[in-house]
Amino acid sequence: MKHRISFAMTLAALAATAAVSAHAAEEVTLYTTREPALIQPLLSAFTAQTQVKVNTVFVKDGLLERVKAEGDRSPADVLMTVDAGNLLDLVEGGVTQPVKSAALDSAIPANLRGADGQWYTLSMRARVLYAEKNLPLKSFRYEDLADPKWKGKVCIRAGQHPYNTALIAAMIAHDGEAKTEQWLRGVKNNLARKATGGDRDVARDILGGICDVGLANTYYVGHMKAAKEGTDARKWGDAIKVIKPTFANDKSGGTHVNISGASVAKHAPHRENAVKLLEFLVSEPAQNMYAQANYEHPVRKGVALDPVVAQSIGELKIDALPLTEIAKYRKQASALVDKVGFDR
């Protein structure tokens, strides 16, 4: 009898251990270049819905190099970046794998995902014009920023920043390298100060009377205009209006966008959960969270913008060029920045 009880207890213990092990296996590891705090609400919602724990690893620099060095022993399941170029570097570096998902393909427009399922856009931010709120401007072309009438009136962050090299690459794709070089020289001649700082500094310096216009990302507008009354950030946001530029020869009339996006890692130990996480991040509830928490533009159609973004910016009509086409010119864009001495 003793033996039977002991055997039964052993079986129960083994069953409990197996249950714990099975539960522990329900996890997914995310390597991200994005500050984890910005997406934690989405990850917590994913875990609450699926019971899959998300292990987040913040990799500020050298994501590709790290994953390559780890090889097939890498614990990474999902690789997330905040720039299309950086995301495509992962694909070209051979550290991602293709995914077939009807949920992803139906939610994300074709020009905002890899044709072979190697990468997917999760949210968008447009490169727009911040202008002094009383300027009589209703429309703007990116090419106009080189017009001599803006001499001494333009503020912008470093040309070598990924947000700007992506825009310059788009300019090359639309206008060619020679015209883009001429444009860059014109913008440099129009600078009110050295190309430096961050996007919010553009609004700050417009308020300070240093410049009248500048290029910056859309989501900073939400952060500034939603800030507490009387804070510096709110003052900066209230000093500007936003205009969505287009390219001169682009008949679609689209504005340049950059993205946050993700891929499934080549050696993902939890591939099924990795796909599950990506599918959740483009679901309607998660896209609503992107809009409300981060003031970004959802990649999924039909999702409401944050009210501040809706009022200040509105819906985006995006540049129709595929991001893969724009990314082809990233190296040329970076070389042009150095050639014209844009950041000196």
| Residues contributing to the annotated binding site | 219-220
DSSP, collapsed to helix, strand or coil, labels residue 129 as: strand
> Kind and range of the H or E element at 3?
helix 2-25
Torsion angle of C-alpha atoms 215, 246, 313, 192, degrees rounded to 10: 20
Cα 174 from Cα 327, distance rounded (Å): 12
CA distance 130 to 214: 5
Token pair 């052993």 in the structure block, residue: 10
Q: State CA 49 to chain mean position distance.
A: 24
Q: Report the alpha-carbon distance of residue 275 to residue 43 in Å, rounded.
A: 14
Q: How far apart are CA 121 and CA 326, in angstroms?
A: 15
- Listed in order, strand segments (DSSP E) in 178-227 are 213-217
8 A C-beta contact, residue 298 and residue 290: yes
Q: Which helix (H) or strand (E) holds 261?
A: strand 257-265
C-alpha closest to that of 170 among 290, 11, 329: 329
- Tell me, what DSSP letter sits at residue 262? E
Phi then psi dihedrals of residue 82, to 5 deg? -115, 25
Among 280, 271, 264, 283, CA closest to 107: 283
User: Rounded distance, CA 39 to CA 37, Å?
Assistant: 6
Separation CA 164–CA 172 (nearest Å): 12
**Annotated binding-site ranges for Fe cation:** 219-220
Pinpoint the alpha helices (H) of 120-198.
162-175, 177-190
- In which element (H, E) is residue 340 found? none
